[in-house]
Structure 1
């Protein structure tokens, strides 16, 4: 997997807010640069997220822009420090695209994650064997070491479901996922049993959108919604033929509305658990 260069979501968020504050203060890039003793090209790189600004520079710019609101100042300072803080995912940064790393970071920070899936069980709910089958199918020529490395990556991501403050996860699965055999019957049976166990946790909701629901609100496919704590914006994520896409601000509302319709059409947690258990029995 060739690494994809470019700014991270965190750096882009910080840069966007710094640019908006500078423009609201009616100051030029040169004036901002002169104040923090940087050239205007450096300020431009910060605002584009190409080179994230350090916390002292962020605070200096906020002083220049006349930002007195303590919540705004604290939020942007924390965001600037978070950008430079090393996480476990950084060990994979040289091998993965920036979008993959962004995804792991979002999961680590989100308070609530809502997802709809039609093609494969979402990564946070996969068993190692199921994950291996999915990764191998996506890259049939990959070697054993590569596959093992990315199965490990996926399993580490699942730590957000445990601990003192686990993420609140609400997953809606299309019933087709219960029919598609990935990795063989034993792998699927173990995967379904895993879903059944996870679904008993109070912070995890796993529900099935049944075939009987007919046409539904997301014919374009799977998506996720990350509800983030301040100062981060809420984020929606989807994959297209052109790659991964993250949407924020007004665009998240469209995904939220779609999820609400799917939520209304899905089976209850109890009904879903029964359907998943029946699927496991079929794999015996």
Structure 2
């Protein structure tokens, strides 16, 4: 299946950089277009991410804007290539909201992911039975074929943990561990899976216990993706109306919230003891 093109996070990032460089150089859209032998509206679409610039155009614009720093040039040229490269997630573009496709790309590109989960276990660590129960509960009217595609997509995402995985730091609200998703057997297997993943050197799992009281994110879950240059850190927050992505000051504020929540959470050893205790309680009739 051909990947969809258009305003992806990748093309928007590239466009943002190109706009900032043009403005710093004191050039107009018309002047940049004339240099490329294109019209101003095409350059405007590049900068908006509506139509991603080809690598040859990016190289020409970097020359025009006087960007001599090789590290910066190489980063933007690499980004221009990635804009046009297809990943496994692009095959799901017709079946998933675009925000979720963006999310899978961020996961695959991140060097570190910091995650606070208040309601359910994060998708990368879900067992198949658990994730299916979550997906079916989220949309009870979805056709079976669509459910199957959503399940496939989440399982495909989980392959990240068996390859060159990023550092993954997470805090789970105790509520997420005690919510009986899929029934007792499903939860026992899910809690066992958490303990198994906690043994991986790149994964840190902490629990925010009920006893911690009020915390820094009463409105719910969020993630912080720390990415290689030239990308900025990206914050993600799920909502019933769709995903929200933020950069800059908003991402910094959420990172500070995460640090406060992590500080209030149990340490890793105590967190695993609590997970084990909840799993044992789940075994009781």
Q: Same fold (TM over 0.5)?
A: yes
Return the offset for 1:144.
Answer: 2.3
Residue 212 of structure 1 corresponds to 211
Whether contact under 8 Å (1:5, 1:97) holds in the other structure is: no
CA contact (8 A) 1:209 1:262 kept: yes
Whether 1:229 and 2:235 are equivalent positions in the alignment is no
Structure 2: distance between partners of 1:268 and 1:232: 31
| More off after superposition, 92-101 vs 124-133 | 92-101
Structure 2 equivalent of residue 193 of structure 1? 192
Mapping of residues 68-107 of structure 1, within 5 Å: 68-107=68-107
Task: Please state how far the C-alpha of 1:250 moved relative to its aligned partner.
Answer: 1.9
Residue 5 (structure 1) shift:
9.0
Q: Which residue of 2 aligns with 1:40?
A: 40
Q: Compute the RMSD of aligned alpha carbons.
A: 1.4
CA distance in 2, matches of 1:147, 1:280: 28
TM-score, normalised to structure 2, is: 0.95
Matched-pair contact (CA < 8 Å) for 1:171–1:205: yes
Distance in 1, Cα, partners of 2:143 & 2:276:
34
Q: For residue 266 of structure 1, what is the aligned residue in structure 2?
A: 265
Q: Which residue of 2 aligns with 1:282?
A: 281
Check the 8 A contact 1:6/1:98 in 2, yes or no: no
C-alpha distance after superposition, 1:209-235 (max 9, x if no partner)? 000001111112110000101111111
SS in 1 for 2:238: strand
Which runs of 5 or more residues in structure 2 are unaligned? none
Give distance in 1, aligned partners of 2:276 and 2:5: 43
* Contact 2:123–2:154 (CA under 8 A) maintained in structure 1: yes
How many correspondences in the alignment? 280
Q: Give the structure-1-normalised TM-score.
A: 0.95
Kindly indicate whether the alpha-carbon contact (under 8 Å) linking 2:171 and 2:207 is maintained by their aligned counterparts in 1.
yes
